Structure 1
């Protein structure tokens, strides 16, 4: 099987428009699979299987594996493995209805850097259908996702992810683990939906968070002046957004919603 994977990799040149960087380091592949720890009956969905570096070992461990791949040439390579428990869906992961995969599902994947955030936000909106998610992302993105308030890299992505998920950076993957090698480090992140979520209205929460971080050097009073005033909230608006923890943003959204309803 390893020989077959090497042969097919010569036929396919990584495409920049799809953000393709193929994982080739077997040690890293084994570590990722160990992190996922798939069980035979797991309802597993892989986004962007590429040439099958993670797909093949996962297929050995589950009864069925659904994958979403946009590149038809790669689908041809995946089909060539003749794996009866592999179900391939051609298309863009951003446009797929997760109900097609009979949730709840476990989601895994090496996400292209250029669309990682849109995919994360798409899955956030459908987190009730997800058990957990294990992704390889640009290390900088994972660090921002897991950053704590008060940090320079704490921002909109940090708040949006941590308000809905437990976020854990598992390990770092160096550029030489890929072909072609990216110019940055990658990292494995493990996400599990919070058992109790305090956010009632995602759209309003996202609106407040986005506005709060729109101008990082300005205070919340300036950033949120079109939404809420100091008289309408107990949160100190003389601070910058990066100083607020997740609960403070939830309180801000609740206070804004009260004004919005009046």
Structure 2
């Protein structure tokens, strides 16, 4: 295997276990249009390319891009920062995403995915275990939070398996995991994504406080905040309750 010196500023931890790479590929549901984020040296790419009709790679490291171009001359490889790419312009139709996500941008990538949610059929990600647990968490758990709600409103998520730090070079200081998500049937929930995100973020800004206190800055009418739901904390609300809450607040703000 060709060795690269990892670039700390890019949060690089190269997966070196071929068995795990194949297992990740086997859990991936993408078959037609596929985007791989941060392919690195291509340990996942070689398994993905055999099962897809169109594959695009986005890699920020020019050294990795040079290596990938030498192997995959027929695959489109974009040397850029995924956070600066408009995902809506990559394919002519819906697509799937697979990635060994850099730990330092994983949350940002998920928010970017949510912006293009109606074009993304499914995803399979290896990422920091702590983040994966939060994304897949259910109400009334300490790990249930902003990402849990926003991702699960639009995607049915599944925690697949753990990946030990020894499977990477260099080994990260934390455990990793693999999660997957499939776009569910929710499309128009009655509010924009930006409005929903604002309500969810405000609700969780003080986890120990009730919604009545967390959403005080929205200046909602007393007859509305006197409802029982406002006596609960954000972590106690399920997805449908967050949607209901957002729609009601939008109506009151019109």
Interval containing the TM-score (normalised by the shorter chain):
over 0.9
Which of 232, 242, 253 in structure 1 is aligned with 2:246?
253
Structure 1 residues 74 and 221: alpha-carbon distance in aligned structure 2, compared to 1, 3 A threshold = same
In the other structure, the counterpart of 1:3 is none
Residues 1-262 of structure 1 mapped to structure 2, 5 A cutoff: 6=1, 8-9=2-3, 12-37=4-29, 39=31, 42-81=32-71, 83-98=72-87, 99-197=89-187, 198-227=189-218, 228-229=220-221, 231-232=223-224, 234-261=227-254
Residues 6-44 of structure 1, C-alpha deviations (whole Å, 9 max, x = no match): 1x22xx2111111100000011011011111554xx111
CA contact (8 A) 1:232 1:255 kept: no
The Cα shift of 1:80 comes to 1.9
**Aligned CA distance change for structure 1 residues 178 and 146 (closer, same or farther; 3 Å):** same
Detail structure 1 runs of 4+ shifted over 6 Å in the superposition.
none
Q: Take 2:98 and 2:142, find their aligned partners in 1: how far apart are those partners?
A: 29
| 1:33-66 deviation per Cα after TM superposition (whole angstroms, max 9, x unaligned) | 1111554xx1111000001110122223334321
Q: How many residues align?
A: 250
Q: How large is the RMSD of aligned CA atoms in angstroms? A: 1.5
The alignment's TM-score, normalised by the length of structure 2, stands at 0.93
Asked if structure 2 preserves the Cα contact closer than 8 Å seen for 1:47 and 1:107, the reply is yes
Gaps of 5+ in 1: 1-5
CA contact (8 A) 2:30 2:122 kept: no
Instruction: Using the TM superposition, give the Cα deviation of residue 202 of structure 1 relative to its aligned residue in structure 2, in angstroms.
Output: 1.1
